[in-house]
Structure 1
Amino acid sequence: MCCRGCPWRIHAAKLPGVPTFTIRTIHDTHTCGGINHLGHQQASVQWVASSMEQRLRENPNYKPKEILEEIHRVHGITLSYKQAWRGKERIMAAMRGSFEEGYRLLPQYCEQVKRTNPGSIASVYGNATDNCFQRLFISFQASIYGFLNACRPLLGLDRTYLKSKYLGTLLLATGFDGDGALFPLAFGVVDEENDENWMWFLSELHNLLEINTENMPRLTILSDRLKCIVDGVEANFPTAFHGFCMRH
């Protein structure tokens, strides 16, 4: 589309039996600067997704801002950020499945972990009211064996905040091998960081070590001074030495 009075026009017709068009007439002279606006409504989410599918398969971290810049460079179409974001979300869902489907598959995933990695611990829990996801705890058998047989009796506790669609918090228990490198023992995903979830995670960790250890030396735990971690360690590891990270 052009401004009123501009002679630029293009007329095309769809060819029968094939998904292509043929140009019948074109007046290719512009006397206006075209249209400047925030997004082409006809650039559908599916079109954006199809246009960027190969790029996103090669680089899933491609950002919506980079998508709209690429669309403009290649096709001369100005997208809104929302159009680019929704296009990426659609193709990522097609590639990896939706977040909702991922949560629904967690019980099956835990069963597969335990079946294919005997000795692993994998449990998922839902809210009592609506059975929506609340907690996940996983420790692979190789991690358990490695910690008990090749690591110092030292565990670091920490968490990081997830940035996916439904957010949440990742809780971590990490050991240190003979070279001083990090050695993951267990991780948990919870809906939020609070006293109850840290107490649950440390209880699961205590059960894991209690089942698999008889003569392990006195455990040392390293964390920051977050009160819910301090209380959880005191309740579940009363004989452990609890040190605090000097940075915190």
Structure 2
Amino acid sequence: MADHMQKTYGLQFHYTKLYRAHRIALEINEGSHSMSYAKLPAYARLVLQNDIGSIFKLQFETKNRMSDNPIFERLFVCFDAYKKSFLIGCRPFNGLDGYHLKGRYGGVLFSAISVDGNNGIFPIAYGVVEVECKNSWMWFLDNLRDGLLDDSDDMSLTFMSDRQKGLSNVISTIFHYVHQRICSSHLYQNLKAKHPAFVSYIRRELVNYCDSFFSIEKYFDTYKEMIHPLLDLAGLKDDAPNERALPPNLKRLPGRPHNIRKREVGEALPSDFKKRSSSIRCNIYKKEGHNRRICPRAGDAE
């Protein structure tokens, strides 16, 4: 943008001014985050009206005054088609995890997924919360239990998670009879290496040792349900001004933001780690320890 304004109009602008202009243009073309939060209640009503049996819950922060607008805090969505397909066709497996959102208002995306007969990831429910903690996981799993109804007490149901932020205790509190497992990548390789040898030794058909969830019938049952399409979302009407949902308050952490993500124990380094090394090498003197700007031979090179 700076080069275009300079070449076309002969004008120079500061970077921050160009950034603000670019952001305004994006909001005009794509809409703003704050207006999207304001449409959430209308979107929730539209989903519940078109997909009977679905769950769409919004939770707002506690108001200091009754005249204050509601401020978004949490969201939980579980479509009826996802719920029925999971109970009928998917394996009794539930994977839980949270992902940090990189948008302006932040937050954490919670997801509950299963696996179909073709080893494909099948979504069950998702939600957005303010932070990942024991209280937020309690709220998410409590809504998930309401979605699964009596099937949540199934003894064969297994949950897999990283057991962080008190998640293991929350699962035991809400789902009393389920099994819990930790994500282990080597488990599949061990079964793949040992099980075929056992099957070939007794000389029987491999299909006799496959669970019914791997059958074609179960796979079709998984995807026979339908999420009904919604009308044009551009026609959603906003609520009254005093009932319009506001985005969450911006939270600024103390200190400068980190440029490098904290990695888990045993996680591999990025492929371009050598390029981003902290060692300094001078282009003039061809030695490490200083750069071109403070090189004693910089004057001679010029």
Distance 1:244 1:114 in 2: 35
Distance 2:159 2:100 in 1: 21
Contact 1:152 1:178 in 2 (8 A): yes
Cα offset, 1:227, TM superposition: 3.8
**What is aligned with 1:182?**
121
Compared with structure 1, are the counterparts of its residues 215 and 243 closer, same or farther at alpha carbon in structure 2 (3 Å cutoff)? Answer: closer
Compared with structure 1, are the counterparts of its residues 214 and 231 closer, same or farther at alpha carbon in structure 2 (3 Å cutoff)? Answer: closer
User: Residue 158 of structure 2: which of 204, 220, 225 is its match?
Assistant: 220
Contact 2:113 2:123 in 1 (8 A): yes
| Letter of the structure 2 residue corresponding to residue 109 of structure 1 | Y
Contact 2:58 2:75 in 1 (8 A): yes
Over 3 Å off, 4+ runs: 67-81, 213-217
Aligned length: 181
Cα offset, 1:189, TM superposition: 0.5
Compared with structure 1, are the counterparts of its residues 137 and 80 closer, same or farther at alpha carbon in structure 2 (3 Å cutoff)? Answer: same
Residues 1:123 and 2:60 are matched in the alignment? no
**What is aligned with 1:232?**
170
User: Residue 114 of structure 1: which of 48, 51, 62 is its match?
Assistant: 48
Cα offset, 1:229, TM superposition: 1.0
Residues 1:168 and 2:107 are matched in the alignment? yes
Distance 2:141 2:153 in 1: 20
Residues 1:91 and 2:25 are matched in the alignment? yes
Contact 2:127 2:140 in 1 (8 A): yes
Cα offset, 1:105, TM superposition: 1.5
User: TM-score, length-normalised on structure 2?
Assistant: 0.55
Contact 1:114 1:120 in 2 (8 A): yes
Cα offset, 1:148, TM superposition: 1.4
Cα offset, 1:88, TM superposition: 2.7
Secondary structure class of the residue paired with 1:129? coil
| Letter of the structure 2 residue corresponding to residue 162 of structure 1 | L
**Higher RCO (CA-CA < 8 Å; seq separation 6+):** 2
Secondary structure class of the residue paired with 1:188? strand
Distance 2:152 2:172 in 1: 20
| Letter of the structure 2 residue corresponding to residue 149 of structure 1 | I
**What is aligned with 1:137?**
76
User: TM-score, length-normalised on structure 1?
Assistant: 0.66
Secondary structure class of the residue paired with 2:166? helix
Q: Structure 1: 5+ residue runs without aligned partners?
A: 1-66
Cα offset, 1:74, TM superposition: 6.4
Compared with structure 1, are the counterparts of its residues 69 and 139 closer, same or farther at alpha carbon in structure 2 (3 Å cutoff)? Answer: farther
Compared with structure 1, are the counterparts of its residues 235 and 98 closer, same or farther at alpha carbon in structure 2 (3 Å cutoff)? Answer: same
Compared with structure 1, are the counterparts of its residues 143 and 74 closer, same or farther at alpha carbon in structure 2 (3 Å cutoff)? Answer: farther
Contact 2:60 2:73 in 1 (8 A): yes
Contact 2:153 2:177 in 1 (8 A): no
Distance 2:174 2:46 in 1: 29
Residues 1:149 and 2:88 are matched in the alignment? yes
| Letter of the structure 2 residue corresponding to residue 153 of structure 1 | P
Distance 2:153 2:138 in 1: 24
1:177-207 CA deviation, whole Å, 9 max, x = no partner? 1111111110110111111111100111111
More strand by share: 1
User: Residue 105 of structure 1: which of 24, 39, 52 is its match?
Assistant: 39
| Letter of the structure 2 residue corresponding to residue 246 of structure 1 | S
Cα offset, 1:89, TM superposition: 1.8
